Amino acid sequence: MIKAKNPVLTGFHADPSILRVGDWYYIANSTFEWYPGVEIHRSRDLVSWESVRSPLGEKRLLDMEGAEASCGIWAPCLSWSDGLFYLIYTNVRSWNSGPWKDTPNYLTTAPSVEGPWSDPVYLDSSGFDPSLFHDDDGRKWLVNMEWDYRKTGSAQFSGILLQEYSPAEKRLVGPIRKIFRGSEIGMVEGPHLYKRNGWYYILAAEGGTTWEHAATVARSRAIEGPYEPHPFNPLISSYGHPETPIQKAGHASWCDTDDGRTYLAYLCGRPLPGTLYCPLGRETGITELVWKDDWPWVKPAGGAALLEGGRVKNWPDETFEPPLITEELKRAAGPDGIVALPSRTKEYRFTGNAIDGDFKSLRVERDPDRYSLTARPGWLRLVGGQSPVSRYGQTLLAVRQRDFAFEAETKLEIDPVSFQHMAGLTWRYDETNQYLLAVSRNDGERKRTLNAMTMVDKVFTRGDDIYLPETGPLWLGLTVDGRYGRFRYSLDGVNWVILRPTLDSAVLSDEYGGLGFTGAFTGLFCVDTQTLSGGADFEYFLYKA
């Protein structure tokens, strides 16, 4: 038996929205403050996934300038109807600054998943996690959670709202109905609607996005309800099962195969062994569902043999059976039948016409003059932006950390103008928690220097100056082995010097220092807080799993 290993999308890939169109499966994921917005992958077998160009890569579609960390794109929904892809998304403008959340929701469409995407249509702002359901009678319905600022705690998640969407008028029409208040787990969000055998199903996330996270199901004969809860909710959750390495299972969506099977894509997290920290962020796993008495169950179906202490087995497994066993999967399977994940080692060169789509930046569309592939052919020139703690105009390119153990490396050339002009290698979570290896220039002796800098819970430390030759390239590196990492540098790309301090990867997790929703990234940066004009040239960037 061939099995695939979870998670299928490693590293920060939260809030999966899964869809099948023809022979292709698609998953859309949240990106929060990272740009371009909404990550989309596609696959024919639910195992091997390839990245599709992010849809929200233009300022007309997404502008997050000034957004706080973990604002931006929350829980997009990708659907297909009438020959069009529909993308629903929230551009969260505030979320943790008081009792309110500012959550404008938008819709854009495209004839292909790769675009072009239409100008966004504003829908509402009553809550986040919007989703569009296409009924078989041609009508379209928006659901989203409602945020009630008047209440406290989990009661602020006051229920799931339903309203009809008119494509002709490009707006929501008709009455707003609250159709589901969630279960006793609480904090209901992330809703999706489905229809099967005359039943309407609402699938929703509950329990917050940490260890008690879950996905619950309810059904009704009418779209407006009342909705009857699943007799063995939650449908999926890791809560109460610390033995499984797949934790935080919840926020989910499902789709059917062409032969009628159902697969669930769900959010999950993997803590570093022996800790409660998940620097890889919230990832995407897959499991098959089966149907019994018109209820979905995590495969195998519920029954007396599967009851453990009065509970149905609903926690996720590390593996699942793919719906399509290709010759490629057979070749990739080991003696145990488990398909080996493709290597995530990749060397990025800057010789083409576009920056690789694995690279993300922050909040706004990239200015090609500040991220230039033409200023020095074969190199990437970054022009210094604002400081590493600014929410406006940082110049930064980074890729997700997708492995507990990895190396990052780059070669750069820079002639710093002042101590305010610097460039180098970053390993970061957000503006308040990050590590930087920076080439700059000191004041007095006017020499090039190298410094390891840390920002941990807003507390900044700067290592001693390491004096460098005035000319010539430099190689900068980062080696991470589970919980800890160290920066290193080289003058020839062969002989390396390992630097202090030891860097704690736990700092770069949702669980450290307060609530967040993303994960660790590593990449390249350039800062010039004096004139915003000093640059640095990078020949390559290597991520080695």
- pLDDT 10s digits, 14-34: 999 999 999 999 999 999 999
CA angle 402, 521, 73 (to 5 degrees): 100
Looking at per-residue confidence, does 478 or 443 come out higher? 478
Q: Is the pLDDT of residue 455 over 60?
A: yes
Confidence of residue 304 (pLDDT cuts 50, 70, 90): very low
pTM: 0.97
**Domain spans in the chain, listed from the N-terminal domain onward:** 17-261, 346-544
62 backbone φψ class: left, alpha, beta (φ>0; ψ -120 to 50): beta
Annotation says 243 is catalytic: no
Weakest-pLDDT range from 157-161, 276-280, 346-350, 512-516: 512-516
Rounded Cα distance, 372 and 272, in Å: 37
Show the tokens assigned to 399. Answer: 């890729």
SS (H, E, C) 173-210: EEEEEEEECCCCCCCCEEEEEEEECCEEEEEEEECCCC
Mean pLDDT of 319-323: 94
Percent of the chain with pLDDT over 90: 94
Report how far residue 75's alpha carbon sits from residue 62's, in angstroms, rounded to the nearest whole number. Answer: 15
**C-alpha of 134 from chain center:** 26
Point out the catalytic residue in the list 189, 212, 283, 409. 189
Are 93 and 63 within 8 A, CB to CB?
A: no
Contact 242, 258 (CB under 8 A): no
Average pLDDT of the chain to the nearest whole number: 95
pLDDT at residue 308 in the model: 60
Arithmetic mean of pLDDT, 469-490: 97
Kindly state the average pLDDT of the residues 264-276.
96
Per the residue annotation, which of 15, 212, 430, 537 is the catalytic one?
A: 15
Fold for 346-544, please state it: Jelly Rolls (2.60.120)
Average of pLDDT values for 329-343?
Answer: 89
Domain 17-261 has CATH 2.115.10.20: yes
**Residues forming a β-bridge with 438:** 424, 451
Give me the pLDDT at residue 97, please.
87
CA torsion 96-97-100-101 (nearest 10°) is -50
257 Cβ contact list (under 8 Å, min separation 6): 20, 263, 323, 324
Q: Is the model's pLDDT at 305 over the cut of 60? A: no
Instruction: Tell me whether residue 189 is one of the annotated catalytic residues.
Output: yes
Strands 361-362 and 34-35: antiparallel
The predicted structure's pLDDT at residue 302: 54
- Read off the pLDDT of each residue in 186-204 and give the average, rounded to a whole number: 98
Torsion-angle region of residue 102: left (phi > 0), alpha (psi -120 to 50) or beta? beta
* 225 band by pLDDT with thresholds 50, 70 and 90: very high
